[in-house]
Amino acid sequence: MSTIGLFYGSETGNTRKVAKSIVKKLGEDVVELFNVSKASADDVAKFSALILGSPTLGDGELVDSWKEFLPTFKGVDLTGKTVAIYGLGDQESYGHEFCDAMAILFEAAKAQGATLIGSWPTDDYEFSKSKAVVDGEFVGLALDNDNQKDMTDERVDAWLEQVKDALLG
């Protein structure tokens, strides 16, 4: 069985594309992919490590599919599990709530007892405010395919290099 469960939601495909690229980079034998619109609590519970991905939509919110899955997700004890988060956002149009949804997933996973990894520097982004910034860093990998699409692949590579060993235990 795979070690890492990657749970994502996506409205227009950017978060899904990144999810698929992560599977490709780490290998299908290592990561199993779940769209949260079709996932269950048991799917989450069976992994020792999780990657959670969501765009920020609405007014600094999770994508609808994640909103619907969140109560189910919150019912899973994540004690002993390692969790890394990534999020898609748009720093130019939503610079006052850039990638805020990562904070929602971060707070939930923390409250469920998970060990959170994968914080990411705010250098190279231009935004005024983000709930996903804690102690000067994003709580996960912030990606912006609306304005910095050409940086996504190298950011994903660098972030995976940073979190890979801890996720694989």
Select 76 or 132, whichever has its Cβ closest to ligand FMN: 132
Asked if residue 4 lies in contact with residue 26, where contact means CB atoms within 8 angstroms, the answer is: yes
140 binds ligand FMN (CB under 6 A): no
CB 115 to ligand FMN: min, Å: 26
Count residues near ligand FMN (CB under 6 A): 22
Using the contact rule CB under 6 A, the part of the chain among 43-51, 73-81, 94-102, 148-156 near ligand FMN is 94-102
Contact flag: residue 14 with ligand FMN (CB under 6 A):
yes
Sole window of 37-45, 56-64, 67-75, 109-117 interacting with ligand FMN (rule: CB under 6 A): 56-64
By CB under 6 A, name the one of 47, 66, 73, 98 that touches ligand FMN.
98
Would you tell me how many other CB atoms lie within 10 Å of the CB of residue 53?
29
Contact status: 146 vs ligand FMN (CB under 6 A): yes
Binding residue for ligand FMN, selected from 6, 19, 51, 57, defined by CB under 6 A: 57
Give the nearer residue to ligand FMN in terms of CB position, either 4 or 100: 100
- For residue 167, the Cα-to-chain-centroid distance in whole angstroms is 13
Closest distance to ligand FMN from the beta carbon of 14 (Å): 3
- Sort strands 115-117 and 133-134 into parallel, antiparallel or unpaired: unpaired
Contact 49, 167 (CB under 8 A): yes
The correct pick among 99, 104, 109, 139 for binding ligand FMN (CB under 6 A) is 99
